[in-house]
Amino acid sequence: MDNRSLVNDARNNITTPSSDSEDLMVNVAIIRNLALDVIYIIIGTVGVTDNLFVLVVFFLFIKIKDKVGPSG
């Protein structure tokens, strides 16, 4: 009986780290996907803000040009 429990303990010790490593890999993949999502959101927000800034400057330029007078 003691030998059988030792074999089961050894089998459990051998198989447990592989399932733990699979869980670790799943957790790493989830964290990586979350980090990429955050990076993409930041890049998208900066891009939209930059485009809005360009539009505001463009419209202000047109408004200032109208105040100065017609050119030509």
Determine the pLDDT at residue 68.
Answer: 84
At residue 72, does pLDDT exceed 60? Answer: no
Rounded average pLDDT over 29-44: 96
At residue 47, does pLDDT exceed 80? Answer: yes
Determine the pLDDT at residue 69.
Answer: 73
Give tens-digit pLDDT for 5-33.
666 666 666 555 557 788 899 999 999 99
**Phi and psi at residue 69, to the nearest 5°:** 125, 170
Domain that holds residue 70: 1-72
Q: How many domains does the chain have?
A: 1
